A and B are shown apart, each in its own frame.
Chain A
Amino acid sequence: MTAPVLDIRGLSISYGTEAGALKALRDVDLEVGEGSIIGIVGESGCGKSTLISAIIRLLAPNAQIVQGAVNFKGRDLLGLSSEQMRALRGDEISMVFQDPMTSLNPTLTIGRQMSDVQHRSTVSRSEKNACSVMMLERVGIPDPEAQLKRYPHHLSGGMRQRVAIAMALMAEPSLLIADEPTTALDATLEVQIIHRLKELQREFGCSILFISHHLGVIAELCEEVIVMYAGEVVESGPLREVFIDPKHPYTRKLLECDPARIAEPTRELPVIEGSLPNLVNLPDGCIFKDRCSKAEARCGIEPPKMSGDGHRAACHLLDHFQETSP
């Protein structure tokens, strides 16, 4: 793999709350190679949103970066001034949001918003419009010229998300962060958007950091996947290996819960028993031990470290496994 576009090392972020510091992210490592599509999967509250807010440096005011580094093309994003950071946003790094119904300004036309995104370019208005038309065409919007005069409420959800993707790709970014871009869309549109995103990624050669809790979408799109649980990365590796041979008990349970995997008709969908641990007062040992059916004595004492090469996981049972099968 070539030098990574985005390289996050040991990132820890806490939120100041009345109960104390809520440790939303702990020692997160993440690498996004050039031109690759990385998926991040995990349930609500696992720190996905905190992670992307940290990358684009738009964290909530009570968030504090405890330690770690976020390197983007060799520059430490955490050390940049807010002006330098703003220059990167929408240029080198851009983002697609979850809900296309709310991520466009309802009072401005599509054309106006598309040319607004090109605020750094000095070309004339008509040239900006030409760029917008071209971009809308590439994301698969029919009759793009007519759309420029429309307002967001004239378009359907799928159309709006395409517009949002077009806006994000306008500056040909090196990194596109997609925060559950298909969650608010229906299933048929989801597939269309995913395929379009994959095509565009090939055309533009950008890297994509794709956040989702939908395993099927991740499987369709990504080459590598990172599984997060309660603010930690518990497993990471090439998509096929993680999905076919999950090493961490959490990943295994997550896959079991995917409705697409259920073979026999059942009244009750499988769930992972228990709930997320309290992130203000972290339990000792493994973060997942309370919900893990295979937890041993040492899981309650010592936190497991990420181990493995390529396909990595943080679980004590892994050593066990490796010890017993040399």
Chain B
Amino acid sequence: MSKPRGLIAHTWSGLKKDPLGMAGFVLVSFILLLTILAPWLAPYDPLDVNVHNRLSGPSAAHWLGTDQLGRDILSRVLYGGQVALKVSLVAISVAMAIGLLLGMLAGLGPRWLDRVLVIGFDTVRSFPTIMFALAIVALTGPSLNTVIGVIIITSIPVYARVVRTQTRALRQRDFILAERAMGASTGRILRDHVLPNIAAPLFILASMDVPAVVGMEAGLSFLGLGVSPPTPSWGSILNDGYSYLRNSPWPIIAGGIPLIAVTLGFTFFGESLRDIFDPKLRGKDR
């Protein structure tokens, strides 16, 4: 019999065997570190305008050049990362919590409740996200909170459906019946027996969801529906750069690379996590 291993040790040894997953993990940690340390790392104030030095290429003073108002792009990208991080952290955790609750209700509750909730999930999912965001913004005006709200509403069904399916599969299992026969209440069964069994797929889903959320925030900000200027966001940096593409490619490159890095990093990391925790799915979707 092997010695029981901790969760972290198990994850770490799995990552060591998967170079792509390790690369993803390193990339993710690197981006997180840069973003969190943005106030100390950024060489300039991201809002500092210097019209004399506009749209310059990379130099010793401005590593990624400057934008159309002469703002330092590196500083803006770093601060833009904070917006992306804040949106994905808040939106995903809230969507996951609500999705968890609704999914368990649908999975363990009476059949009519399940039907009602599933119809609700499908209705929300059938809306095109951007159209939905446009409609909400038309009502409330562009703001970061609107972006977060839209992402939460459209992400809840994603989590809820996974939780519902897993819960339904679990409730057929003998150990849940055994717990009932031992007098466990429904709350205890959900907390102690369903939750640990669905935690792994949920976290894998969340890590794969980060790029989608970051991309959505960038997209909405690009369209002018997200953060209001002059707050830097990767999307608004892209939008600024897009208008001046003929003058300088640097804003586009600087705004695009972090998006690509986040997508690749979290996808590789997420896939590796999935392989570690659910060997049955190994090799699918590749």
List chain A positions with a Cβ less than 8 A from chain B. Answer: 56, 58, 86-91, 94-95, 97-99, 102-109, 116-117, 119-120, 149-151, 154, 164, 167-168, 177
A-B contact pairs, 25 of them (CB 8 A): A58-B177, A89-B180, A89-B182, A89-B183, A94-B181, A95-B178, A95-B181, A95-B182, A97-B174, A97-B177, A97-B178, A103-B177, A104-B178, A105-B175, A105-B193, A106-B197, A108-B193, A109-B4, A120-B183, A149-B4, A150-B4, A151-B4, A154-B2, A164-B178, A168-B182
* Chain A residue nearest in CB terms to B172: A102
- Compute how far the CA of A168 lies from the CA of B181 in the bound complex, rounded to whole angstroms: 9
**Which 8 A/B pairs are nearest by Cβ-Cβ distance?**
A90-B182, A90-B183, A89-B183, A102-B174, A107-B196, A95-B181, A103-B174, A103-B178
The reply to whether A58 and B183 form a contact with Cβ atoms under 8 Å apart is: no
A150 vs B178: C-alpha distance when bound (angstroms): 19
A58, A94, A103, A164: residue with the most chain B Cβ atoms closer than 10 Å: A103
CB within 8 Å: A-B pair count: 70
* B-side interface size class: 20 to 34
Q: Determine if B280 is an interface residue (Cβ-Cβ < 8 Å).
A: no
Contact of B174 among A91, A94, A99, A177 (CB under 8 A): A99
Mark each residue of chain B from 155 to 192: 1 if its CB lies under 8 Å from any CB of chain A, else 0.
00000000000000000011101111111110010001
* Cα–Cα distance between A116 and B185 once the two chains are bound (Å): 12
List A contacts of B138 (CB < 8 A): none
Provide the bound-state CA to CA distance between A164 and B175, in Å.
10
Is B1 located at the chain interface by the 8 A CB criterion? yes
Give CA–CA (A150, B1) in the complex, Å.
10
Do A102 and B2 contact each other (CB < 8 Å), given the known contacts A90-B182, A107-B196, A117-B182? no
When the two chains form the complex, which single residue of A56, A106, A108 contacts B181, counting CB atoms closer than 8 Å?
A: A56
- Measured in the bound complex, the distance between the Cα atoms of B184 and A160 in whole Å is 20
In angstroms, how far is the closest chain A Cβ from the Cβ of B136? 39
Chain A residues touching B, majority SS: loop
Interface string of B255-283 (1 = CB under 8 A from A): 00000000000000000000000000000
Q: Are A104's CB and B181's CB within 8 A?
A: no
State the Cβ distance, A144 to closest chain B Cβ, in Å.
14
User: In this complex, which of B175, B179, B196 has the most chain A Cβ atoms within 10 angstroms of its Cβ?
Assistant: B175
Q: Is the CB of B188 within 8 A of A119?
A: yes
How far does the alpha carbon of A56 sit from the alpha carbon of B175 in the complex, in Å? 15
CB-contact partner of B183 in A91, A103, A107, A150, under 8 A = A91
What residues on B are CB-neighbors of A151 within 8 Å? 4
Closest CB in chain A relative to B281 CB, distance in Å: 17
Contact residues in B for A107 (Cβ distance below 8 Å): 196-197
Interface string of B32-76 (1 = CB under 8 A from A): 000000000000000000000000000000000000000000000
B175 near A90: Cβ-Cβ < 8 Å? no
Query: Considering only CB atoms, which chain B residue lies closest to A89 in the complex?
Result: B183
**Nearest Cβ in chain B — how far from A191, in angstroms?**
24
Could you tell me if B192 and A108 are in contact, using CB atoms closer than 8 angstroms?
yes
* A116: B residues at CB distance < 8 A: 184, 188, 192
Point out the residues of chain B lying under 8 angstroms from A91, CB to CB. Answer: 183
Q: Which of A102, A105, A120, A167 has the most CB of B within 10 A?
A: A105
